[in-house]
Structure 1
């Protein structure tokens, strides 16, 4: 898969996170169990973008974390969602682990298996 195609899928995932974060959903049965979902969602987001844009890893972690902060503020403006600093922390931690996982994968994967850059 080319870098552009991989990046387009990553942007679609960004849209998915925004939609899922702002639509009304029922609360989880166990308190704070949503933090696992936050951690995994932002970990995958950072991993995906880090693999697509291999030279911008610190920026990816920061932007993913800031997106989580922005979504929390947007949720505060809705009648059915709430602002939660613990969600922001779970988002940032997930993004950090996703970025670090990408660093490890990029060092471990042979160059031939990495995402190919488009030549245009």
Structure 2
């Protein structure tokens, strides 16, 4: 395999794992600054949507990709409950799962058009 940033077999997995790490770091760091009411749900939706989209482009297994992303979203919420500065929120879990579903559907539709 040619090691080049123009090689999608290298770029997509790097983006996926970088995005995964970014979600974990962002989810477990203390929150800062003022926020828009329920604006974090939009962040959850987009974050897990991008995660699932990247995963679907790599593995092309919609149900497994959605399940993996949704389980990660649930696990992150439980991890947040263990921190003194974040909290467990079932609405965040729902936003994660719905975002992941959107990402899987978007990637699947794009792959069918190719």
TM-score under structure 2 length normalisation: 0.89
Superposition map of 1:73-84 within 5 A: 73-84=78-89
User: What is the deviation of 1:29?
Assistant: 2.8
Which of 27, 35, 55 pairs up with 2:41? 35
Distance 2:91 2:111 in 1: 30
- What residue in structure 2 maps to residue 59 of structure 1? 64
**In 2, Cα distance between equivalents of 1:16 and 1:29:** 19
User: Is 1:16 the counterpart of 2:22 in the alignment?
Assistant: yes
More relative contact order in 1 or in 2 (CA 8 Å, sep 6+)?
Answer: 1
CA deviation profile, 1:67-98 (whole Å, cap 9, x unmatched): 00000000000000000000000000000010
Equivalent in the alignment of 2:4:
none
Residue of structure 1 equivalent to 2:75: 70
Q: C-alpha separation between the residues in 2 aligned to 1:20 and 1:8? A: 18
The number of residues matched between the two structures is: 108
For the pair 1:91 / 2:96, whether they are aligned, the reply is yes
Show structure 2 runs of 5+ residues with no match: 1-6
Is the 8 Å Cα contact of residues 68 and 88 (structure 1) preserved in structure 2?
A: yes
Aligned-partner SS, 1:82: coil
Aligned Cα RMSD in Å?
1.2
- Relative to the length of structure 1, the TM-score reads 0.85
4+ runs deviating over 3 angstroms = none
Go from structure 1 to structure 2 and tell me whether the alpha carbon gap of 1:29 and 1:9 turns closer, same or farther (over 3 Å shift).
closer
**Which structure 1 segments of 5+ residues have no match?**
110-120
